[in-house]
Homo-oligomer: A and B are copies of this chain.
Amino acid sequence: MSVMGKALFVDLSNKKTKEEKVEREIYRKFLAGDGLGAYYMNKLLDGKEDPFGPSNVLIVAPGLLVGSSIPTCGKTVFFAKSPLTEGWGEGVFGGSFGLALKQAGYDALIIRGKSREPSYLLIDDGSPEIKSAEHLWSKSTRETADILKKDEGKDFSIACIGLGGENLVRYAIIDCDDRQAGRGGLGAVMGSKKLKAIAVRGTKDIEVTDPEKVLRLTMEWYKKLVESQAYRDDTLYGTGEFLEWMNRERGTFPTRNWREGVFKERKEIDPYYWVPRYSIKNLACIQCVKPCGKAFVIKEGKYRDTKLDGVEYETLFALGGNCGNPSIEAVAKANELCDLYGLDTISTGGCIGFAMDLYENGILTKKDTGGIELKFGNSEAVVKLVELIAKREGIGDVLAEGVKRAAKIIGKGAERYAVHVRGMEPPAYDVRGIKGMALAFMTSPRGACHLRSGAYALELTGKFWKYEGVDRLSSKNKGKEIADMENFMAVYDCLGACKFSRSLFLLDGFSDILEAVIGERYTEDDLLKIGERICNLKHLFNLKCGWKKEDVKLPPKMRIPIPEGASKGSFVSEKEEKEMLLDYFKARGWEEDGKIPREKLEELGIAEFFDH
């Protein structure tokens, strides 16, 4: 059984820790990872909590298959009530931290309370200890990890925050050995608890039911994976390989704060340009056979000695195209700073692009920006703004709140330029030309998100799994599609499976795997039911946090037709928006106002969490 059967509770206020057995029945209903998080978030929070208060929790749970050797299944999830959306918050990451936690004996770590002084949590094979982090405070993520590895041992995995989290930037990330739990400001929750880092070492064996079968399946799957179509390009060019196609073939690469869907100045940020020039090495997550990651190094010039794992597709958009920034070196430098300060690159780029749009429209002036000529394409300004946001200096202090709050603070009609859904800055999919994704942005429990449904691949190519002939420019029949995909993807986050493997494993690939790993066979339908259960549980959490249907809307820019390129003329009307949302509620069996009827929760066996 590749779960450890235990959760570790740590209360930073009173420095008490306790272990709790997780019953087999819980795993059966929720698997692990995402499911275990959804269970505990609902069990422990009533939704009224201040995200920065001691009553908010920070949870981390490795996927069920973490440690099993099944390729690409090494993902782990952080959870908390999000300070960006004030609702469901989660961030999936691929570092070794989750494996270490599991080897230390835990399927979930649940942190509550608030430390008075900067502290870090040390877990050495199951002996939790809260230690002073005075010497680490204000250090970068890289410095923090280096110091902790030096002090505690280099076989520790480190999750930590940078200045962003300390300064409660609402989209601060948690760095996990150079991978990031990225969205929704979970790093700021950690900062609010004065928790600088979590260092974990584990040496326990992770047992599986039928080890020989797991070995055989491991071999079978890694052959399938490495022979798959997507493998080759990703290995060489990483996720950015997608960029040129999104620009040229689909015209849905959001550019200059979503003014355009094609970034004409994209030459340098295309990995076909920069990989041969700057990438010195492939990098892979733990338990992965496909190295999407690229060790990016700038050896000379203004940004000399820049070193990072990147640049990912989303960041090429956020700090590149969305800011009209054509310089790959500036994108890489800004990306490195985001990593060191601990900021979400998507939201950071969203905020900078938003500020540039305001500047060009006269809503912000040099007086507001401290003299910075904040025009689209000002590469140096992008780099500078990252620093100001992390330090909460000048305009950076406003932008650190995210575009939704920043627009309110700035006023003067700034809201027209604020691109977000439920407070979350969206990733690199211009949904005016990918209408199913417009719906997915609205229904994602954590706000505008591409990965809760992963429907972009289906929408952009027209087929995936049981769907084919999908028309991305139509808003018809999207409700069931997105609900199905959300259920599908929730299973991936329970198992710790990388979503880039979704076209290979699909769901039925896991039937044999789960039988070998945990001794129980799940059909595709069984898994989808679990996915549905978890999606409902996340929505239930949002309802408890005050989710209202009227808050679920696309930003004003989605009404303006895409001006050029392959999706020229496409936009999402208010009518389409409303119809899609209703269609989704119907597909989910929810009420017209988005509430979940008690019968649905009973059907899913989660009525115990019902309180509305």
Contacts and interface: CB of A to CB of B under 8 A. Distances in A.
A218 B218 contact: yes
Nearest to A224: B284
A290 B227 CA distance: 9
A304 B76 CA distance: 48
A284 B223 contact: yes
A207 B212 CA distance: 6
A213 interface: yes
Contacts of A229: 281
A228 B99 CA distance: 22
A610 interface: no
A222 B222 contact: yes
A144 interface: no
A227 B216 CA distance: 23
A219 B283 CA distance: 14
Interface in A262-296: 281-291
Which interface residue of A99, A219, A285, A291 has the most chain B CB atoms within 10 A?
Answer: A219
Contacts of A222: 71, 222, 284, 287-289
Contacts of A211: 208, 211-212, 214-215
A231 interface: yes
A226 interface: yes
Contacts of A289: 71, 222, 226, 289
A211 B218 CA distance: 12
Which interface residue of A205, A208, A213, A228 has the most chain B CB atoms within 10 A?
Answer: A205
B219 A213 contact: no
Contacts of A42: none
Contacts of A74: 219
A235 interface: yes
A310 interface: no
Contacts of A227: 281-284, 291
A159 interface: no
A257 interface: no
A17 interface: no
A236 interface: yes
Nearest to A74: B219
Contacts of A284: 222-223, 226-227
A206 interface: yes
A378 to B, nearest CB: 34
A453 interface: no
Interface in A177-234: 205-208, 211-216, 218-219, 222-223, 226-229, 231-232
A67 interface: yes
A520 to B, nearest CB: 19
Contacts of A214: 69, 211, 215
Nearest to A68: B215
Q: How large is the interface on A (under 10, 10 to 19, 20 to 34, 35 or more residues)?
A: 35 or more
Nearest to A218: B69
A219 B71 CA distance: 8
Interface string A52-89: 00000000000000011101001000000000000000
A215 B281 contact: no
Which interface residue of A208, A226, A290 has the most chain B CB atoms within 10 A?
Answer: A226
A228 B206 CA distance: 27
Contacts of A236: 232, 235-236
B208 A212 contact: yes
Nearest to A294: B232
Contacts of A228: 282
A344 B368 CA distance: 74
Contact of A208 (B71, B215, B283, B291): B215
B223 A212 contact: no
A254 to B, nearest CB: 29
Contacts of A235: 226, 231-232, 235-236
Interface string A402-440: 000000000000000000000000000000000000000
A498 to B, nearest CB: 13
B288 A223 contact: yes
A240 B549 CA distance: 58
A219 B69 CA distance: 6
A215 B288 contact: no
A287 B219 contact: yes
A235 B290 CA distance: 10
Contacts of A208: 211-212, 215
Interface in A466-500: none
Q: Which 9 A-B pairs have the closest CB atoms?
A: A211-B211, A205-B212, A69-B215, A289-B289, A226-B291, A226-B284, A69-B218, A235-B235, A219-B287
23 contacts: A69-B214, A69-B215, A69-B218, A71-B289, A74-B219, A205-B212, A206-B212, A208-B212, A211-B214, A211-B215, A215-B218, A219-B286, A222-B284, A222-B287, A223-B284, A226-B291, A227-B284, A227-B291, A228-B282, A231-B291, A232-B235, A236-B236, A289-B289
Given A68-B215, A69-B216, A207-B212, 11 more contacts: A71-B289, A74-B219, A205-B213, A206-B212, A219-B287, A223-B284, A223-B288, A227-B291, A229-B281, A235-B236, A289-B289
